[in-house]
Amino acid sequence: MSSTRTADLDRAFPSWLLPQWQAPARVHAVSTLRHGGVSRGPWGLADGSLGGWNLGAHCSDEAADVEENRLLLRERLPAEPLWLEQVHGTDVLDADGLDPADGGGLAARAPAVPARADAAVTTRRRVVLAVLTADCLPVALANARGTAIGIAHAGWRGLAAGVLENTVAALERASPGEHWIAWLGPAIGPSRFEVGEEVLAAFVDSDPGAQAAFTPTGAPGKWRADLFALARRRLVRAGVRDIAGGGLCTASDPQRFYSFRRDRVTGRMASLVWLA
């Protein structure tokens, strides 16, 4: 899919965000919004009406609606996304190790059972990497030459455990010595993400400087955490210094975003990246 085609689709069907980052033209990335599909109720629009674009298959939505929503997404992509079984961990799928889907070997065949991982990388064209989120932070990565890409699902557990560092390390193995570029997608913002002492300790015990990303709420043992700041800090330490995005709060914008923290029963958005 050309960049012109992607832009045309976005104008005609504005159900996703296009990152504003410095990735080369052959790197394509999008993050879907809440509207644009066939789900209803908690997975529908903000008022519960028909039109939600829930892409999560394990959040109690009607299976037929999720399938239709995924078909609507697939129509706008060069290949079927490589969906993951996300577990808030640090494992990274190397999609270059999957079987080619066609004779040219450009894409990869999606496994019958999604890989258990929270990130993926590839150097192949037309391989669509994807993560699902509804408050956790999606992070897209690419090199400046446009020959390697990755994506990660970074909730606080995965972020603290090193999912971003593992993703950058996997990209470095695939394409060493590159200049890496990152985009931080929509996630719960610091004004809405209240956490306890265990979350603070998960970051600060190994990195005292991470304390700057936490603001006391005034209640005993309660803090507001800035996932965007924590992710930037982790990416910089991993060698990524060209970082865009961050600041779009899922919990504060029910018209555009699903939010688990806000609604508990809700849908999932997808963030996707691929090489043309």
Judge whether residue 8 has pLDDT over 60: no
Determine the Cα–Cα distance for residues 206 and 233; give it in Å rounded to an integer.
13
Confidence (pTM):
0.94
Cβ neighbors of 146 (< 8 A, separation 6 or more) are: 23, 24, 25, 26, 27, 275
Judge whether residue 180 has pLDDT over 70: yes
| pLDDT for residue 119 | 98
Provide mean pLDDT across the span 27-44: 97
Q: Could you report the per-residue pLDDT of 144-164, keeping only the tens digit for each?
A: 999 999 999 999 999 999 999
Judge whether residue 12 has pLDDT over 80: no
Superfamily of domain 3-190+242-275: CNF1/YfiH-like putative cysteine hydrolases (3.60.140.10)
Provide mean pLDDT across the span 119-127: 97
Task: Name the strands in the sheet holding 214-216, side by side, starting at the edge strand that comes first in the sequence.
Answer: 194-195, 223-225, 214-216
Confidence band, pLDDT 50/70/90 cuts, at residue 199? very high
Q: What is the mean pLDDT of the chain?
A: 93
| pLDDT for residue 183 | 98
Q: Could you report the per-residue pLDDT of 63-79, keeping only the tens digit for each?
A: 999 999 999 999 999 99
Provide mean pLDDT across the span 200-204: 98
Is 35 exposed, middle or buried (CB count within 10 Å of its CB: 0-12, 13-18, 19+)? middle
The length of the chain is 276
Q: Could you report the per-residue pLDDT of 97-118, keeping only the tens digit for each?
A: 998 765 455 788 778 789 999 9
